[in-house]
Amino acid sequence: MDKWTFGITMLVAGMGGTIATLALFSIIMSLLKKIFPYKQEEE
Amino acid sequence: MLDAIINGLSGLIAGTLNLHWSNPIMMLIGGILLYLGIKKDFEPLLLVPIGFGCIIVNIPLADLMEKDGFLRVIYDMGIMTELFPLLIFVGIGAMTDFRPVLENPYTFLLGAAGQFGIFLTLLLALAIGFPYKDAVTIGIIGACDGPTVIYVASQYAPHLLGACSVAAYSYMSLVPMLQPPIMKILTTKKERETIMKTHKKTVSKTTALLFPIVITIVGGLIAPKGLPLLATIMLGNLMKESGVVSRLTKAAENEISNIVTLLLGISIGATMSGPVFFKPQTLIILCLGLLAICLDTVCGVLFGKILYYITGGKINPLIGAAGISAFPMSARVVQKEGQKYNKKNYLLMHAMGANAGGQVGSVMAAAVMLSVLKGMGVI
């Protein structure tokens, strides 16, 4: 594998994977907030 | 008898006679690191032991980094086993409040955008001619996260550990100087003046408690090679959020973090021996590291601008600059810059969200990178 194939793969899979994972985290945490809403009495 | 006395006296000047030309220069660099830590308050907890370690490892014939030398023992025990950065992560997890990112989960995306510098710098390092694993290690400086850099460097490019760690910690401390000009260049006055609404508390205790568990499982399944990084930071956060192991949380925040920081710092300093460290390659790494952190800021702010236009001007693009791992320094920079252009602007909580997202983002970027490398058969 030449260095450009390696570099572009890292950029696409690495950065793409990072964005996709964090987007998934964002969706999961939004769902959890809906399932377990904040209640005032928790204070 | 005279010979014996001369031989005995020669032992006292052997150290000086064996000085390599690079040793005094490295001692000076160690002195500069001490100056930055002590006088300028730049990451003193790390720069002081690193600077001192750098000075003592450049004294010839002390054999500190030879087999059974005391620095070698610490280095092998904590750095080569990856134990120190992981223990530091438990402490970071225990100290970090992730609720701001949970209040606004979209800020996870700003944390992702703030990692672009890693991959762009990796490409640049490859173009310059660094081997694959070295390029990956140099790129990871863009995570702006010392323990992550040490974790990756110790595994895949131990010979770059000193340069990469010093770059990461030095530039992290320079964030208040590096980011504002970039933020100003990339945004218009109108964008910088955007006022963001403050939100009421929306995160329940259950959600905060589930966060570290869910993130560990999901993140670990996606990027198993980086699970040690993710799991340790999340363990620290779980201890903090659970509230039932306050002794362990306090130990992770204080005793464990303090002891490991000391040993970690002196071990990094110990890798800065003149003949090993003083190469043109080190200068290139320091330049690439600086570029990586600037590119993170550029990409974060540009992503912030995209969100500004998508939301019809509801998001101040400056908060994108906080999508890096320098927590909470970067968020404070955003707050300060925001207020500079609009006194009524309170961006801190939004920026803290992006900053906490950047903390998770940097760990995930390293984890994803390692898993992609594993998938490609490079590691």
SS (H, E, C) B250-278: HHHHHHHHHHHHHHHHHHHHHCCCHHHHC
* CB–CB contact B204 A23 (8 Å): no
For residue B201, what pLDDT is reported? Answer: 78
> Which residues are registered as beta bridge partners of B203?
A37
pLDDT of residue B204: 93
* Cβ–Cβ gap A22/B364 under 8 Å: yes
Contact B126 A3 (CB under 8 A): yes
Tell me which of A4, A11, A29, A42 to substitute to probe the interface with B (most B C-beta atoms closer than 10 Å). A29
Averaged over successive runs of 10 residues, the pLDDT of chain B (379 residues) comes to 87 89 94 92 88 94 90 92 92 92 92 93 94 94 90 91 87 87 95 85 91 96 94 96 96 95 91 88 93 94 95 93 87 92 88 92 94 89
**pLDDT of res. B144:** 86
Is there a contact between A33 and B215 if contact means CB atoms under 8 Å apart? no
How far is residue B38's CA from residue B268's CA, in Å, rounded to a whole number? 18
The whole-model pTM stands at 0.89
- Where does the pLDDT of residue A43 fall: very low under 50, low under 70, confident under 90, or very high at 90 and above? low
Element (H, E) at B222: helix B205-222
Mean pLDDT across chain A: 90
Q: Dump pLDDT digits (tens) for B125-158.
A: 999 999 999 999 999 999 888 899 999 998 899 9
- Are B273 and B58 a contacting pair, CB within 8 Å? yes
How far is it, in rounded angstroms, from Cα A7 to Cα B207? 38
Contact B123 A17 (CB under 8 A): no
Determine the residue among A11, A12, A18, A24 to mutate to test chain B binding: the one whose Cβ has the most chain B Cβ atoms within 10 Å.
A18
Q: Name the residue among B371, B334, B348, B296 with its Cα closest to residue B142.
A: B296
Residue with the larger pLDDT of the pair B42 and A30: A30
B342 near A CB under 8 A: no
Residues of A with CB under 8 A from a CB of B: 1, 3-4, 6-11, 13-15, 17-19, 21-30, 32-33, 36-39, 42
Lookup: tokens for B377: 């058969």
Chain A residues near residue B372 by CB distance under 8 angstroms: 9-10, 13-14, 17
Res A42: pLDDT: 56
The torsion angles phi and psi of A37, rounded to 5 degrees, stand at -65, 155
A7-24 pLDDT, tens per residue? 999 999 999 999 999 999
| CA B359/CA B363 separation, integer angstroms | 7
- Give me B117's structure tokens: 């510098």
Q: How far apart are CA B316 and CA B334, in angstroms?
A: 10
pLDDT tens digit sequence for B233-262: 999 999 999 999 999 999 999 999 999 999
Contact B295, B121 (CB under 8 A): yes
- pLDDT at position B187, please? 95
For residue A1, the chain B residues in CB contact (below 8 A) are 376
Is some CB atom of chain A closer than 8 A to the CB atom of B160? no
Instruction: Give ipTM to 2 decimals.
Output: 0.93
CA distance B95 to B86: 14
Integer angstrom CA distances of residue B42 from A3, B36, B45: 36, 6, 9
Cα A33 from Cα A14, distance rounded (Å): 28
Chain B residues 201-220 with CB within 8 Å of chain A: 201-207, 210-211, 214-215, 218-219
Residue B140 DSSP class: G
